[in-house]
Amino acid sequence: MILNATNSKMLKSITGSPFLEDWVGVKVTVYVDKNVRFGKESVEGLRLSPARVTKPVLSPDKTQAWNNAKAAFKRDGNLDAVLARMDISPEHRRQLEQECSS
């Protein structure tokens, strides 16, 4: 894909750098924008947006991850390290904290 000025500006915004070398390996979402101005016409064009990062969800049925999260909570006194890598519902968070305190 050849980057036009608009997409180059978006990559600069995503990476915080104007240098091509810093864009290597950056994950983005490429989508079709059906309303790109090209001269006096509106045409379809490719656009970039930051890649959506989806974290796995932590729940008691994922036994190994659940036990690792409990160990991290007991070690650190919080779930910061776990939440950096996984999402957890408020109900499961309370359950995990209760299991660690008993």
Query: Which pLDDT tens digit goes with each residue over 17-73?
Result: 999 999 999 989 999 999 999 899 999 999 999 988 788 999 999 999 999 999 999
pLDDT at 7 over 90: yes
* Residues 6+ away with beta carbon under 8 Å from 83: none
Instruction: List 38's β-bridge partners, or say none.
Output: 41
pLDDT at 96 over 90: yes
pLDDT at 97 over 90: yes
* Residues 6+ away with beta carbon under 8 Å from 50: 14, 28, 29
Contact 87, 63 (CB under 8 A): no
* Residues 6+ away with beta carbon under 8 Å from 32: 44, 45, 46, 47
Residue 54: its pLDDT value, please?
83
Question: DSSP 3-state helix, strand, coil percentages of the chain (rounded to 5)?
Answer: 45, 25, 30
Residue 23: its pLDDT value, please?
94
Contact 74, 100 (CB under 8 A): yes
Residue 14: its pLDDT value, please?
93
